[in-house]
Structure 1
Amino acid sequence: MSVARPRLSAFPKCYLEEISNDGGRTVFDWIEEAKQLDADGLEMYEGFLPGWPDGVPDDASLDRVRDAIAEAGFLMPMLCCSPDFTQPDPDDRRRAVERQRCMIRATRRLAGADFEDGGRPVCRVLSGQRRPEVGREQGLDWVTECIEACLPTARAEGVTLGLENHYKDGFWRHPEFAQKADVFLDLLDRVPEREYFGVQFDPSNALVAGDDPVDLLERVAERVVSMHASDRYLVPGASLEDLRQADGTLGYSPDLKHGVTGQGLNDYDALFTRLAAVGYAGWISIEDGMNGLGEMAESLAFLRRMVAKHWGG
């Protein structure tokens, strides 16, 4: 009897601003370029879609992206969205909820009706920005209320919401409200939904938060619904303690570089041992390419070997 095991997808962090800001490269250029990668799927970002940042994409535009992904031989397992649920103005929060609902519908449309073989598609959800004027309890109340408001749409569309232990959306002013593990875990506990809500786990973001990735995974493994698998390494002479800020986080220091997955600070043997132990069979996405697609290809090859090692085959 074969064991269900994770599939691999790719996300072009290297092209994030170029595609999102109409910098001469389109999402269709990325899809074409991705054909050279050994991936099963292509993860999308809301900024890659028409209408961003203020509007939402129409169905015809979504269908063109979906068809291009399918024609290139990929599935679309996750749409990365960055809702800001810590805005003090309740009308702004309501608008953020409505936009996230639209992105949940977009996730289903991009994944297509035949995605069931790839599991349930994931729409990433974040907490919002860590605004200095928003206290912890107030922020947790707001974010919980907003996520709960999105769940009926997720259930109706057959889409899972994945809460990421994130650092900071590239277009935000402040880092993630729930960046640190203690706040992230408190927020996760406040949303008991298990079928249509879970964790989008990123070990590198745990490092940036000043937390231990393996320890965090131990605490959330049974709720993981998707995973990013990038890696970070320190420049010669630097140490994590040197980079630690007053709040314990590291930030995106120039001394903490992107690199080939498996060659940096993350212990992927330990991470995958834990995921395999709980029967994880969702998607693992390589989020990188900062030093060229050659490194992304190396990362995917590493992940293929690791999946075979820990899940068999």
Structure 2
Amino acid sequence: MTMQNRRSFLKKSLLALPAAGLIPGLAKGNSDETSSSVKRNPIGVSTYSFWRFDGPKEETPIEYCIDQAAAMGFDGIELLLIQMESEENSYLQKLKQQAFHAGLDLMGFSTHQGFVYPDRDKRQEEVDKTIHQIELAYNLGIPTMRLNTGRWGTIDSFDELMANKGIEPVLEGYTEDEGFEWVIDAIEQCIPTAEKCGVTLGLENHWGLGRTAEGVLRIVDAIDSPWLRATTDTGNFLERRREQLEMMAPETVLIQAKTYYGGGTWYTLDIDYDEVAKIFHNVGYEGYVSIEFEGKEDPMTAIPKSLERIREAFTWEA
């Protein structure tokens, strides 16, 4: 076979294979099985979707989640740090290797921290922890990491907090403005490490001072760094959803898409994902959508249904 014929053969083969679903990497994000004019966002899934804090994390190991996500046809997977069995580098590299062999991107790293503490030393502990988490993301090769603002802690029970739509009183003797100052100062200390490691921080609308789009954007705008953007969770806006999603969309580095098959644990939202997708397409968002399944149905049936629904919504004519 001549070089020219070989090139022609390879070109025809590569054009044909995505239609058969044999080269998932070429199909991700910007191509469709039938037409190059159709585009879609890559779809990932959080390991939380398989666990949902339902029992010991050892019963739903990250390795299992990677295998299941690959088998279900996801493009990537978002790792929940507290679900991991270790932070040792050998374990991190094993997960990276497994995901690579499975054809999955490690596309998000979901962490927990909080900076809403009057005690400066406590805030510094959280800063140091967050910097360490950024370094873990770097070692895993993950390009974005979810951040929380933290909350006042004046409501002890999470069930009660959810019943109150995530709203809690400010700690006595302090003001909300002081809380924002603490959070802004703390995250600013993390930015140099994020830049050095190439890990974009995504501040999530996740209760506390980040419960609303206004709260998240107040912090993002104050810090004004390309290494701090937003992780937008579709299920954490319990009012004015469309308005707040439109506010967050231009700053979004990762979408977390909640689904509730079988009914939710704390609440069930009827989210119009066609509308959500349109909001993000209007601002040119072509990044990952990470499914967070929070329903009571068996994840092995609910997560594939979630993938089908979200993939359908986030596919559009170019």
TM-score by structure 2 length?
Answer: 0.75
Question: Aligned Cα RMSD in Å?
Answer: 2.5
Q: What is the deviation of 1:233? A: 8.4
**Which residue is equivalent to 1:298?**
305
**Which residue is equivalent to 1:141?**
181
Q: Structure 1 residues 253 and 130, CA, compared in 2 at 3 Å: closer, same or farther? A: farther
Q: What is the deviation of 1:214? A: 1.3
SS at match of 1:204: coil
- Deviations along 1:190-240, one digit per CA (max 9) or x if unpaired, are 2211x2111101121012xxx2221012212211110011135897xxxxx
Q: What is the deviation of 1:24? A: 2.9
Match 1:281 to one of 279, 282, 286: 286
Q: Structure 1 residues 74 and 267, CA, compared in 2 at 3 Å: closer, same or farther? A: same
**Which residue is equivalent to 2:315?**
308
Q: Tell whether 2:135 aligns with 1:100.
A: no
Q: How does 1:20-35 map to 2 (within 5 A)?
A: 21-35=56-70
**Which residue is equivalent to 1:124?**
146
Q: Structure 2: which amino acid aligns with 1:226? A: L
SS at match of 1:281: coil
CA contact (8 A) 2:255 2:290 kept: yes
Match 1:224 to one of 220, 239, 252: 252
Q: Which structure has the greater CA radius of gyration? A: 2
TM-score by structure 1 length?
Answer: 0.76
**Which residue is equivalent to 1:118?**
none
CA contact (8 A) 1:289 1:295 kept: no
Residues paired across the two proteins, number: 262
**Which residue is equivalent to 1:202?**
233
**Which residue is equivalent to 1:271?**
276
SS at match of 2:314: helix
What is the CA–CA distance in structure 2 between the aligned matches of 1:178 and 1:229, rounded to whole Å? 17
SS at match of 2:194: helix
CA contact (8 A) 1:225 1:282 kept: yes
Aligned identity (percent) is 25
What is the CA–CA distance in structure 2 between the aligned matches of 1:29 and 1:41, rounded to whole Å? 14
**Which residue is equivalent to 2:81?**
46
CA contact (8 A) 2:259 2:292 kept: no
Structure 1 unaligned residues grouped into runs of 5+: 52-56, 113-120, 168-175, 236-251, 258-263
- Deviations along 1:72-114, one digit per CA (max 9) or x if unpaired, are 22111110011111122211211111111111111122126xx
**Which residue is equivalent to 2:140?**
110
